[in-house]
Structure 1
């Protein structure tokens, strides 16, 4: 029983370390061949948005909005991939990955 508790504690420590790493790791999502870029943490916190001035057209705001959404989605997808990479081995040992409370691991 003591061995099981030690293994559970070790997995919890590994999980906490992986979560801390994901909170700091950054991914960059982009749309429009890089005209719009979103930098976020792998935990989903948006840190910055960069918009190339040549895409800004006051007569076509919808395209810019679509590009921002596309870049956000790309960043979220890359964050999910990084989460799966970092948390995958831990999730395999615990069964339900959704129990970690991280988006994209359910």
Structure 2
């Protein structure tokens, strides 16, 4: 039973539509936002969208040693992970308030 009687279905539908619009807007903003991460004191920098898509990778010449490609690979992985962590933080900041309005459980099927 609902406190105060039955819910107004029209009002619930309006709220759901508004929330869907807000989520769509936030997802678009995340797809357009760019965040960076780095490793090796800035020798390698990765840029990802707020949605986590890798869009740029910069490697300083000082990071390139043909005799030690493993270290370069580690730096690239670390920079990408750092950028993805920044993207996840951005997602939580932008999407968290919207998904908490759904009872704190989020929307099934969305990664937020």
Settle same-fold status: TM greater than 0.5. yes
Q: 1:97 aligns with which of 83, 87, 106?
A: 106
Q: Does 1:27 align with 2:35?
A: yes
Q: 1:43 aligns with which of 48, 51, 65?
A: 51
Quickly say closer, same or farther: Cα 1:98–1:80, change in 2 above 3 A: farther
For the residue of structure 1 that corresponds to 2:101, the secondary structure is helix
Q: Distance in 1 between matches of 2:21 and 2:59?
A: 39
Bigger proportion of residues as helix: 1
- Residue 98 of structure 1 and its aligned partner are, at CA, apart by 5.8
CA RMSD of aligned residues (A): 1.2
For the residue of structure 1 that corresponds to 2:92, the secondary structure is helix
**Structure 2, unaligned runs of 5 or more:** 1-8
Aligned residues: 103
Q: Distance in 2 between matches of 1:83 and 1:20?
A: 11
For the residue of structure 2 that corresponds to 1:33, the secondary structure is coil
Q: Which stretch shifts more, 72-81 or 93-102?
A: 93-102
Q: Does 1:13 align with 2:21?
A: yes
Q: Distance in 2 between matches of 1:21 and 1:46?
A: 16
- Residue 45 of structure 1 and its aligned partner are, at CA, apart by 1.1
Q: Does 1:59 align with 2:67?
A: yes
Q: Segments of 4+ in structure 1 off by > 6 A?
A: none
Quickly say closer, same or farther: Cα 1:66–1:98, change in 2 above 3 A: farther
TM-score w.r.t. structure 1 length? 0.92
